[in-house]
Amino acid sequence: MMATEIKKGIYWVGGIDWGIRNFHGYLTQRGTTYNSYLIVDEKITLVDTVKYYLVDELLERVASIVDPSKIDYIISNHVEMDHSGGLPRLMEIAENATIITAPNGEKGLSQHYDTSDWKIKTMKTGDRLELGKRNIDFILTPMVHWPDNMVGYMPEEKILFSNDSFGQHIASSERFDDQLSIEMIMEEAKKYYANIVMSYGMQVGKELKQASVLDIEIIAPSHGIIFRKYVKDIVENYVKWSSNIVGKKALIV
């Protein structure tokens, strides 16, 4: 189970759910991934975890790069089980790690897990986590699509860890948007938006406005394929979808 290097010292270490066919009540005929990202710097950092039954995959991939017990920070961008399900196991192994989350994330984690022995640090928009040579700047994105959601931007590498935004349900051995059909990726991104995010279009618009000032070369979402070639295209699509812009149609009876 190989980790995939995104940029030097930054790896995809998530889990691939080949068999899932129902996610939040809609058909996922192509499966999905639960994306987790390992950053190797002066501080070893893991961005999100995976669903509980794929935590062994995550740990194997992390262990191919570093000893999981050496993890310093675990960023929890979203409390939902497909993102945080691996946290209890990881906190047993990386017992000195600090969880980085939003204020609502801290509340949510305490409702789902026994966090009494966990070290938790909360972030608000504009806060920075220093990792060594690199940093992560946080933007709270409540209701995209839960109250606890946040995203992280690494300015040194121009990577946006976008959480549920820009996700798609695609299980694949390939990790990047230039390795699969971009038409298929955009089709799945549109389905994901319609089924998971569309109800929160106003909040998505606010997030896009905040992201518009960032210099982004890579979008690393929590599900599906990582964007590195078609970043502009997926952002433009999100602007269109969140604005409820529709094409002209005619019905002939």
Give first-to-last CA distance, the chain, whole Å: 55
Which of 49-53, 149-153, 173-177, 246-250 shows the lowest per-residue confidence on average (mean pLDDT)?
246-250
pLDDT band (50, 70, 90) for residue 100:
very high
Q: Which of 80, 106, 148, 188 is catalytic?
A: 80
Q: Are 171 and 31 in contact (CB under 8 A)?
A: yes
Q: Which of 192, 193, 200, 230 is catalytic?
A: 192
A 10 A CB-CB count for 130 gives 11
C-alpha distances (whole Å) from 142 to each of 121, 150, 167 are 18, 7, 17
β-pairing, 119-122 vs 128-130, is: unpaired
Degrees, nearest 5: CA angle 244-247-250: 125
Q: In the prediction, which pLDDT does 246 show?
A: 62
Which of 32-36, 47-51, 132-136, 141-145 shows the lowest per-residue confidence on average (mean pLDDT)?
141-145
Task: Report yes or no on whether pTM surpasses 0.85.
Answer: yes
13: tokens are: 């270490």
Q: Which of 78, 83, 148, 200 is catalytic?
A: 78
Q: H/E element holding 110?
A: helix 103-112
Q: In the prediction, which pLDDT does 250 show?
A: 66
Q: Which of 17, 57, 157, 164 is catalytic?
A: 164
Q: Which residue ranges form the domains of the chain, and what is each CATH number?
A: 4-242 (3.60.15.10)
Residue 80 is a catalytic residue: yes
Q: In the prediction, which pLDDT does 245 show?
A: 64
Q: How many helices (H) and strands (E) does the chain have?
A: 7, 16
Q: Which of 82, 148, 177, 188 is catalytic?
A: 82
Residue 164 is a catalytic residue: yes
Q: In the prediction, which pLDDT does 89 show?
A: 97
77: tokens are: 């961008």
Q: Are 175 and 189 in contact (CB under 8 A)?
A: no
Q: In the prediction, which pLDDT does 212 show?
A: 80
Q: In the prediction, which pLDDT does 248 show?
A: 64
Q: Are 220 and 6 in contact (CB under 8 A)?
A: yes
Q: Is 210 a residue whose pLDDT tops 90?
A: no
Q: Is 244 a residue whose pLDDT tops 80?
A: no
Residues 43 and 111: their CA atoms lie apart, in Å, by 28
Report percent pLDDT > 90 for the chain: 78
Residues 253 and 251: their CA atoms lie apart, in Å, by 6
Residues 55 and 231: their CA atoms lie apart, in Å, by 29
Residue 169 is a catalytic residue: no
Residue 78 is a catalytic residue: yes
- Beta-carbon contacts of residue 239 (< 8 Å; ≥ 6 apart): 208
Residues 226 and 43: their CA atoms lie apart, in Å, by 23
C-alpha distances (whole Å) from 188 to each of 26, 78, 135, 144 are 12, 21, 31, 18
38-77 confidence digits (pLDDT tens):
999 999 999 999 999 999 999 999 999 999 999 999 999 9
pLDDT band (50, 70, 90) for residue 9:
very high
Q: Which of 48, 73, 83, 145 is catalytic?
A: 145
Mean pLDDT of 6-26: 92
Residue 113 is a catalytic residue: no
Residues 81 and 49: their CA atoms lie apart, in Å, by 9
What's the number of CA atoms in the CB half-sphere (13 Å) around residue 168?
Answer: 27
pLDDT band (50, 70, 90) for residue 180:
very high
Q: Which of 106, 200, 223, 238 is catalytic?
A: 223
